[in-house]
Structure formats: structure tokens, C-alpha cells
Amino acid sequence: MGPTAWKLLGTGAAVLAGSVANKVVSRGWKMVSGKDAPNDPLNTEDVSWREALLFAAITGFVVQAARVAAQRKAAQYYEKSSGHRPAALVGKKH
């Protein structure tokens, strides 16, 4: 495997994980609050500042955590499959 394979694998894993995490947060929000997720920042009539900021904070944390986990797993898979770390990660502390 080469650098292009790593870029595809790492980026694909991050994008997929972020998308899934965003959907999970939105569904969880609806289950807990009984309302649709406040995805529209211009919807100031139905969504309070508190709700909007809380949703943004939860979404940001969960999506970023999922992306990090997915990229770490992708790097482990790459290393196991190829016998070496991705070139983009060589020299970085882990």
C-alpha cells in the first residue's frame, strides 16, 4: 500500500464516521428532547440559544471523537496489512 491508499483509507474512514456520528447525535437528540435536531442556525423562533449551543457542542464532540477513532483504526489496519505505518504518520509521536 502507498500514500494514495492511506489518503483514501484515512479520509474515507473519517468522513464515514463523521456522517454516522452526526446521524446518531440527531436521532439521540430527538429521542431525548422530543424535538428535531436544531440544524438550522437561522431558526431563531423555535430554537433557543441554549439548545443551539448545546447541540453544537455535543455534535462537535461526538463527531470529532468518531473521526479520531476511525482514523486510528484505519492506521492500525494499514500498518497490519502493509507491514509499515502510513508514510504521512512516520515520525509523528503516537
Q: What are the respective helix, strand and coil percentages of the chain, to the nearest 5?
A: 70, 0, 30
Tens of pLDDT, residue by residue over 10-44, are 899 999 999 999 999 999 999 999 988 988 867 77
Tens of pLDDT, residue by residue over 37-63, are 988 867 778 888 889 899 999 999 999
Domain ranges of the chain: 3-36+44-86
For residue 69, CA distances in Å to 31, 62, 81 come to 25, 11, 18
pTM for the full predicted model: 0.79
DSSP notation for 23-56: HHHHHHHHHHHSS-----TT-TTT--HHHHHHHH
Looking at residue 93, its pLDDT comes to 63
Q: Which residue has the higher pLDDT, 88 or 34?
A: 34
